[in-house]
Structure 1
Amino acid sequence: MFKWNLREIVVMSTLAVVFAIVYLLFFQVGNIMVGFMGPIGYEPIFGIWFIVSIISAYIIRKPGAAFLSETIAAFVEVLIGNVNGPRLILSGMIQGLGAELIFAATGWKRYSVWVLMAAGMGSSVFSFAWGYFLSGFAALSPQYVLWMFIIRIVSGALLAGLLGKYISDTLAKTGVLNGMALGKERNRRKAA
């Protein structure tokens, strides 16, 4: 059941490369927002940096999909020029692990909208803990840090969880995912 086939590996890797480009573009958007809002400027869009883990896990539904896709996306993002360099790969691994643990808690069997949102929130919690130490959040006021955390949690739930589900479901409607777990589930529902 959990054995990966070549098509799943190709789909996951392709999604990771596409979202590495999206991530790099959103890094620039985040920089602009930080210029206007200060450190909290990244938080409203932070969930976008977790989205490939949610999409890959929802489409493929196998252990490691969230973790691997996020790690590959971070690696590709470093290769194409993210200024954070190799430590970004560790950030991607941490973000992917946050989502992966939520899917693991369901035995990789539940992919409801609530589970997808929880996975986005899991990435938010893990990434925030990592960022707290890496980015020096301790120097900020506790209230400011709390607002950063709350906004990141909401962003993870909405941008990674809900938007990730919407993108995946939209792709499934085209038929391009018929060989994937999500496409097979969709076809079973249509036939019933």
Structure 2
Amino acid sequence: MMKQWKLKDIVLMSILGVVFGLIYLAFFGVGNVLYGVLTPFGLGPLSYELIFGVWFIVSIIAAYTIRKPGVAFTSETIAALTEVLVGSTAGPTLILSGMVQGLGAELGFAVTRWKDYRLRVLILSGMLAATVSFPYAYFMSGYDAYANWLVIAMFITRVISGALIAGLLGKYIADQLAATGALSGYPLGKERQKRHEQSSAS
């Protein structure tokens, strides 16, 4: 797997992992605000699920850009490691959580043998990251203490968040980065340039 990576791939994964690791850490504050808003209605546990797709997004952006096996998993792991090094109160277990999320995202691309990076695959990847990470969170965070209807609502909310925030928004962010020319050396940038040349020729 790593033999397929070039130095520029590793550099981009590292940059994205660090940047989004910091963003992930900041979003815990957003989750806390949502928790405060929803708790009076008995829906506090849904707070983080609403934005959980944020914690998968780097795996989608990196994989969509670089388009090689292992990129989704590795970038997500780097982001989790960054959170821990910066000082997340979750501690080292957060790294394992990031690896689980990255594995789920990687499965979305593995389904097509890393050959299809259309929007539907990105959305699938975000949904699988949510699906795979939920059982881990269920046991690690004690979701069994919640009512069944709330656990089901949490799972559905996480999957939708994974689809919309990680998949849809992740694609949008990567496309906007590609539009600046910053990703010209990567498959996404080359694909965009090819489409531009074809449209100009027609």
What amino acid maps onto 2:132 in structure 1? F
Q: Counterpart of 1:70? A: 76
Once the 2 structures are TM-superposed, how far is the Cα of residue 99 of structure 1 from its aligned partner?
Answer: 0.5
Decide which structure has the larger Cα Rg and report it. Answer: 2
Match of 1:155 among 157, 161, 167: 161
Tell me which residue corresponds to 1:10: 11
- Secondary structure, aligned partner of 2:139: helix
**Residue 41 of structure 2 aligns with which residue?**
none
Partner of 1:185: 191
Is 2:126 the counterpart of 1:120? yes
Q: How far apart in 1 are the matches of 2:89 and 2:104?
A: 23
CA drift of 1:35 comes to 2.4
Is 1:138 equivalent to 2:139 in the alignment?
Answer: no
Residue 95 of structure 1: aligned partner: 101
Alpha-carbon distance between aligned partners in 2 of 1:142 and 1:127, rounded to the nearest angstrom: 18
Distance 2:5 2:159 in 1: 31
- Residue 36 of structure 2 corresponds to 35
Give the structure-2-normalised TM-score.
Answer: 0.93
- Structure 2 distance, partners of 1:31, 1:130, is 21
Aligned residue number for residue 175 of structure 1:
181
Distance in 2 (alpha carbons) for counterparts of 1:142 and 1:97: 26
Distance 1:145 1:113 in 2: 28
Which runs of 5 or more structure 2 residues have no equivalent in the other structure?
39-43
Any gaps of 5 or more consecutive residues in structure 1? Answer: none
| Cα drift, residue 36 of structure 1 | 2.5
Q: Which amino acid aligns with 1:152?
A: R
Query: Partner of 1:33: helix, strand, or coil?
Result: helix
Deviation at 1:20, TM superposition (A): 0.4
Q: Secondary structure at the match of 1:17?
A: helix
1:108 partner amino acid: W
Distance 2:128 2:161 in 1: 11
Could you tell me how far 1:94 is from its partner in structure 2?
0.2
State the Cα RMSD in Å: 1.1
- Cα distance per residue 1:61-103 (max 9 Å; x no partner): 0001000000010001100011000000000000000010110
Counting matched residue pairs gives: 192
